[in-house]
Structure 1
């Protein structure tokens, strides 16, 4: 067993949680699950595989995850962040066992590659492989930034390195579930994009940087640039880049569904919801804050808590 504990957030993940935990057990038995009061067998399955489970009401991913960090019962050197619908490949499991104990003290974070499967097909093009994510960090040297969407682990000191192998993102739910989930994501994405312009809170975030930055800083830079583009042009520009320039068409019919829905439909829905905000509240910061409080019960001044 490596000197590593894992945090996983769950809500009704009985289709995935067993697969996820079994991929972790070859290198750690220190697994901590923060569950948002699941109504299926998620908690039962997790506990049967040795995970420690607590329940906490859901607010946002960042809030729930930082709750997990603050209440982690294991005093390990390293922490790993996992989603319930992901699993570790056997190659990455071996790499963790071999490399993690020997990392120098100035290494405080580890990037790994995420492999996305959609409708059981590996999405290899359109900029979707490899996607580098910081998933490991030394205890006390990383926090989950408080943003409404696309939360990153922000290192407070030290430097990151990369491992060679993959974590696999393979959700087993149907397409109706997927579209409903992204409809809910869309309003959070609207808030995140508006926050770039209006800076509703002063929460600590990853700084946008293109040259000389980390992967997360570069992704944040590109998101800031995306936010500055005109409504309803940016979804088409993004889809064109992914599907044609990024060779997304090589992912076949299931890849077409993925790139169209995730790269165009979802982004267009975000812009439509943003247009709705502007139609009701204009471009006044205080009016926008009041709109979200009235319509969605979300206090933008307080941030994603």
Structure 2
């Protein structure tokens, strides 16, 4: 398996929060259907809640329940206000992805297998995964890993796919970086089509979504919102099948300038959000 075949598109993105309850409340106010909270194993020391989308992507809120070695990087990111902490890419085989990344010098870390209980209308089931982390030196600005879902039906719950804000999925994740040449050279190793660079941005296409890095100046011009110190992820772009419904939800939530369809980080768990037509 080559690196290009090891990654099958975007799976989900992770928003790290200091207060999981406050994060859940923010997402709910923005019209996201938030699943019941899941508790991870003791060695992880984390808990999560998700919003799952019809295009096969999802959004994960992740909070620390107890400091552990496993969540040290996330706690560091929170201290630096890098709330848009990570990106999970889809893979059909996390073990094969590990071998492919190692063979091509990507810097694969040990493969992990884990599960978490999910309360469903018919009773509790385990959501099970296998993941392989990609070394941070390959993806500056973000924690990136590939995720193999062993129980996708437990994650993409049919009773939570209908989003009140009309969101159908994640289209783009946007970061900021001063050195776009380094971003293009390193991230380009994991993007199936390589990096598409211009003076103010780098685009990396992953089948169903795009990761974009901009200069801080370009980001400020396009979004008008603050970011963490670069390199860092900063914004999520969602596709909506009804922007009128989306705008109405943002207006009801008291988002400044809802007509712009841009939500500033103070209203969205530390992350800038933008909504565009599907």
TM range (shorter): 0.3 to 0.5
Between Structure 1 and Structure 2, which shows a larger proportion of helix residues?
1
TM-score by length of 1: 0.30
TM-score by length of 2: 0.32
Structure of higher CA gyration radius: 1
Between Structure 1 and Structure 2, which shows a larger proportion of strand residues?
2
Higher relative contact order (Cα pairs below 8 Å, separated by 6+ residues):
2
